[in-house]
Amino acid sequence: FLKSARVVGDVIGKYHPHGDSAVYGTIVRMAQEFSLRYPLVDGQGNFGSIDGDSAAAMRYTEIRMKKLSEEMLQDLDKETVDWQPNYDDSLSEPKVLPTKIPNLLINGSAGIAVGMATNIPPHNITEILNGLIALLDRPEITIEELMKIIPGPDFPTRGTIYGTEGIKSAYMTGKGVIKVRGKTDVESHGKDRERIVIYELPYQVNKAKLIEKIAELVNSKVMTGISDIRDESNKEGIRVAIDLKKGEIPSVIINQLYKATQLQTSFGIIFLSILNGTPRVLNIKDQLQAFLDHRREIVVRRTIFELKKAKERAHILEGLKISVENIDEIVSLIKNSEGPSQAKEKLINRFSLSKIQAQAILDMRLQRLTGLERDKIIKDYEEILQLIKELEELLAHDEKIKNVVKEEMNEIQEKYSDKRRTAIVAMSDEIQIEDLIKEEEQIVTITHKGYIKRMAIDTYKTQKRGGTGVKGANSKDDDFYNDIFTANTHSTILFFTNKGIVFSLRVYNLPEGARTSRGRNLVNLLPIPAGQKIKEIMCISNI
């Protein structure tokens, strides 16, 4: 590990002369498991949280590269990519990296430029590599077939993608919008109460701000069914507990959370990438093809570099082979020379050697004249000739280049393969609350003081002879019933004020009460202006 401040200083001084906060902010993001699907930096210290807490100052934190990052730098020293001068011409820097991993797709990217924007979501490395291999084997593969291998984005914070139309649009055209929802569960607690638990969030949603928003909606009485909200998250994972009031329907509250908070977000996908120096919006197949072309180029350039080095080595070994085969004559020739330059000249003339070969013989240590060392020189020469033959064959056959690219992808998959985190539900239409509510008859009561409630129709049963009756609501402060009627849970009740304003409530949104409970006052359910009163009530069935 190195101090983050040291790395930031090196980056600013050598390659990127901008603000240290921008550089350190990038390092922090690359170390956050909730920001990158596959973090590239291994951080030691406080690197922030999903609640929006900022990282510790760079003088306190330490970093090093993840193993995955090293795959992006493999073969950088083998002339695989073009280099350019840095900002002050004091150093050289690569124009691109010879990466073995498709980082743009697996970790995504977001940015805004002059008249352009990109927003590429993260994906699963296993699915992307399988897609690349499929495209390598079958260049004619369709996007629909690729979507069976790569079903959609895969976010680090998990969640659920609702609907496949947005994914299909993005993969076909390069642009699309997807809905991402957090995952919830319903638990029972107490005698007859329920609790909603949020344990996964949509990508890039701040947990603390989400909780603040829910609390704000409760305090402003926009959401009236919540009695308490707590953040019970720990190192095991996210857990936000939302306690519901008695009689509330969890599915209705969850749907309200989707509508009013960031428990459901929209992610706009734009596959804008720089391809050969030009910004272009690419579909998923074009993105994969661009990476395959890059890998092919890297393999070819690496092979050319290795072939050049192998030929240089073979040239020297050929000279050493000649020397060990004529060792006595060469020793005598060197002994009888006045100086190194004369010895070099004599070697070149006598054995038709190049200057490089002659110098290698002169530089050779005496221990290489032993029998074992002589055999090793001959063996090395034969092996290097075999390597040259293999490298030349590789360059001559495109199919062999393709196989090397494929083998390297399989190696990456073996090292870093993991399972998908984000679920995809093939449902694009919004869930309607009505679909979650069972249709049944309810008894609705409204008192003179404005208290309203609903009860199941079997609360009061028809009694036979000798029945003693069932106790109803307790009267309080001279309050009495103004209206008692039956209505379907899907019916709508209209409330008319004395000033002519009309409010509406669906029956399933009314508080469910017991026989003896008063219910809830209408002023807590409807935004009735000051000085106005409800004068008339009408129940209508939805057509």
Active-site annotation holds for 460: no
Place of tokens 């240590």: 365
> Which residues face 281 on adjacent strands?
272
Classify 464 as helix, strand or coil: coil
Q: To which residue do tokens 């009689």 refer? A: 247
Selecting among 15, 38, 60, 481, the annotated active-site residue is: 60
Q: What are phi and psi of 489, to 5 degrees?
A: -60, -25
CA pair distance 229, 197, nearest whole angstrom: 10
Widest Cα–Cα separation across the chain? 139
Give the start-end residues of each E strand in 251-317.
264-270, 272-275, 278-281
CA–CA dist 193, 281 (Å, integer):
51
What HEC string does 163-231 produce?
CCHHHHHHHHHCEEEEEEECEEEEEEECCCEEEEEEEECCCCCCHHHHHHHHHHHHHCCCCCCEEEEEE
Question: How far is Cα 92 from Cα 451, in angstroms, rounded to an integer?
Answer: 77
In sequence order, what DSSP letters do the residues of 55-124 get, joined into one string?
Answer: PPPTTT-EEEE-HHHHTTTTTTTTT-S-EEE-TTSSSEEESS---SS-HHHHT-EEEEETTEEEEEPP--
What DSSP element (H or E) covers 444? strand 441-447
The residues annotated as belonging to the active site are 60
